[in-house]
Amino acid sequence: MNVKESLKSLPSLESILGDTACASAIKIYGRERVRDTLRSVLDTFRKAALAGEANGSDAKKNSTYWIGIATALLEKTLEPNLRKVVNCSGIIVHTNIGRSTLAEEAANAAYLSATSNVNIEYRLAAGERGDRDEALEGLITQLTGAEAATVVNNNAAAILLALNALSDQMETIVSRGELIEIGGSFRLPEIMKKSGCRLKEVGATNRTHMRDYEEAVNENTALILRAHTSNYKIIGFTSQPTLKELSTFAKSKGLPMMVDLGSGAIIDLAPFGIKDEPTIRETLENDADIVTVSCDKLLGGPQAGIIAGRKELIQRIRKNNLKRALRCDKMTLSALEATLRLYLNPEKALREIPTLRHLSRSMDSVRNIAMTVSLSLKEWFGDEATVSVIDDVCLAGAGSAPEIDIPSISIAITHRKLSPNKLAEMFRELNPPIIGRVDDDLFRLDMRCIDKPSEVSDSLT
C-alpha cells in the first residue's frame, strides 16, 4: 500500500477532538489550543509521510496516540521561562540571577500581600486614604536616623526622581571620578540627563578638590551629588574631599547634598570584610541631606530603592508626579517592610536575611556543606570526574566591594571528557540549573551561598 493510501486511515481532526481521551487535555489547555496543536501534529505527519520522512503506517494509530503527541507539546508550554537557579557562581549578589533572595518572613509577607488586599494606602483607624510610604517610613527613619523616607522601584528610580524633584532645569555638580556606569544600562550622566537636570562635571578622573566644587557653584546650581563608586576603585594619585567637607560646603551655599550610596548597608559590614560600604546612618551623620540606596543588594530585600533624608526635601520628592510612575507594588512593600523589621535585631538580620547570612557565615560552615555536597557529586560522577574541595574566594557582587575577595570554599570538578566550559554548560542544563563558574581553567561550584546540601543534590537525579 502506498503512502497516500495509508494516509486515508489517519483519523480526522474532529474525530480525535471528540474522543473522550481528549477531554482532559481540553480542560487543561482549552479547546482552541488543543485543536490547533493537533492540526499541526497531523499536518506535520502528513507532509513527512509524503516526503518519505515518516512511517506512513503510523496513520493507522488511534486517537490516543495523536493526543499523546499533542499533549507532550502542550505540556512544554506550561513550563515557566523564569526558573529557580542555584547560585554557586561565587558572586553573592548576582544581578543576572535576581540579586538577593528574601528572608522567609519577607517572602511570607509578599505572599500574603499577593493573595489578599492590604491597607497599602488606607488608614484603618480613620477609614480614609493614606500614603504608600506610611507603612515603611517609620522603620526606615528608626534604622537610619533619617528624618523622612520614601520608597520607589529601585535605586535608579530613586536617583531619577530625586534629581527631577530637586534639580530640574538646574545644575547638579558631580566629580568626574564618580560618573559611574553600573551593569551597562545604568549610567549616571544619562540618568541625570533624563531627570532634566544639567550635569556640571568637576575635577579630573583621579583627583577632585574642594576648590573645583567652589568654582563650579553659580546661580543655576541646585544640588551637589556624590556617587559611591561601588563597582570600581580609583587608586594611586587620587584625592577627593571627604563627604563631611563636601556637605559642609553645600550647606554654606544653601545647597542640598545628595549621595547615591548604591548598595546601602543598614548595619556595618566591615566585620565581614566589606570595608568600603558606608551605612545609610553614617552617611546622614556626615550631613548628607538625601541618600539613595538599592534594597536588593547588600540590604538583602526585594528590588526597591529607598530615598532617605531631610523631611522638607523628601516632601518635595514625594509630591513630584514621577513618584506615581516609579512607585512600588504591595508585594514589594510588604517584603521590604518585613526585611527592615528583621534589622531591628541585627543578630536576627544576620541569621535570617540570606544575603547577610551568606556574607557573614563562618568558613567552617561553608566547608562542611562543601564536604557533604562533594560526596554526592563524587557518587554522581563515578569515575568520570575528579571532585575536590578547594579554598577559593568569592565576591559580594552587584557593584559592592569590587576589589575585596571574600574567602570561600568551592568544589572543583575535572571531567575526563568534558572541558571546564562544557561542564559549566552541563550544570546549567540540570533541573534546577546550577550556576557555577570557570576560573583559572577550572570548573568550580562556590558553596558560600548554599545553606543545605539538598540545594545542590536535588538537581543530581
Ligand X SMILES: *Cc1c(COP(=O)(O)O)cnc(C)c1O
Residues whose CB is less than 8 angstroms from the CB of residue 322 and which lie 6 or more positions away in sequence, other chains included: 160, 161, 164, 165
Contacting residue, 93, 149, 156, 290, with ligand X by CB under 6 A = 156
The interface with ligand X within residues 305-334 (CB under 6 A) comprises: 305
Q: Does 182 sit near ligand X (CB under 6 A)?
A: yes
Contacting residue, 155, 221, 247, 374, with ligand X by CB under 6 A = 155
SS (H, E, C) 254-276: CCCEEEEEECCECCCCHHHCCCC
Contacting residue, 133, 137, 171, 260, with ligand X by CB under 6 A = 260
Identify the CA nearest to 140 among candidates 269, 256, 293. 293
B/e letters for 211-231, b = 16+ CB within 10 Å, e = fewer, are ebbeebbeeebbbbbbbbbbb
**Nearest distance, CB of residue 332 and ligand X, angstroms:** 12
Between CA 212 and CA 153 the distance in angstroms is 34
**Nearest distance, CB of residue 168 and ligand X, angstroms:** 20
Coil, strand or helix at 83: coil
Contacting residue, 135, 136, 151, 227, with ligand X by CB under 6 A = 227
**Nearest distance, CB of residue 188 and ligand X, angstroms:** 7
**Nearest distance, CB of residue 157 and ligand X, angstroms:** 7
The interface with ligand X within residues 95-154 (CB under 6 A) comprises: 154
Name the residue nearer to ligand X (CB basis): 262 or 420. Answer: 262
Between CA 3 and CA 85 the distance in angstroms is 47
Coil, strand or helix at 64: helix
Assess whether the previous peptide bond of 189 is cis (omega < 30° from 0).
Answer: no
- The size of the interface with ligand X (CB under 6 A), counted in residues, is 16
Contacting residue, 399, 420, 436, 453, with ligand X by CB under 6 A = 399
Q: Considering only the stretches 82-90, 224-232, 240-248, 373-381, report the one whose residues sit in contact with ligand X under the rule CB under 6 A.
A: 224-232
**Nearest distance, CB of residue 293 and ligand X, angstroms:** 8
Q: Considering only the stretches 55-63, 222-230, 339-347, 380-388, report the one whose residues sit in contact with ligand X under the rule CB under 6 A.
A: 222-230
Strand partners, 392: 408
Q: What are phi and psi of 152, to 5 degrees?
A: -130, -170
Identify the CA nearest to 146 among candidates 309, 306, 293. 309
Q: Does 262 sit near ligand X (CB under 6 A)?
A: yes
Q: Does 453 sit near ligand X (CB under 6 A)?
A: no
Q: Does 228 sit near ligand X (CB under 6 A)?
A: yes
Q: Does 283 sit near ligand X (CB under 6 A)?
A: no
Do the bridges between strand 221-227 and strand 171-175 make them parallel or antiparallel, or are there none, so unpaired? Answer: parallel
Q: Does 377 sit near ligand X (CB under 6 A)?
A: no
Q: Scanning the structure block, which residue is given the C-alpha cell 531627570?
A: 195
Assess whether the previous peptide bond of 432 is cis (omega < 30° from 0).
Answer: yes
How far CA 78 is from CA of 17, 28, 72, 81, in Å, comes to 21, 10, 10, 9
Contacting residue, 186, 249, 380, 381, with ligand X by CB under 6 A = 186
**Nearest distance, CB of residue 95 and ligand X, angstroms:** 7
Between CA 289 and CA 146 the distance in angstroms is 9
Q: Considering only the stretches 29-37, 45-53, 119-127, 227-235, report the one whose residues sit in contact with ligand X under the rule CB under 6 A.
A: 227-235
Binding site residues, ligand X, CB under 6 A:
154-156, 180, 182, 186, 227-228, 230, 260, 262-263, 294, 305, 398-399
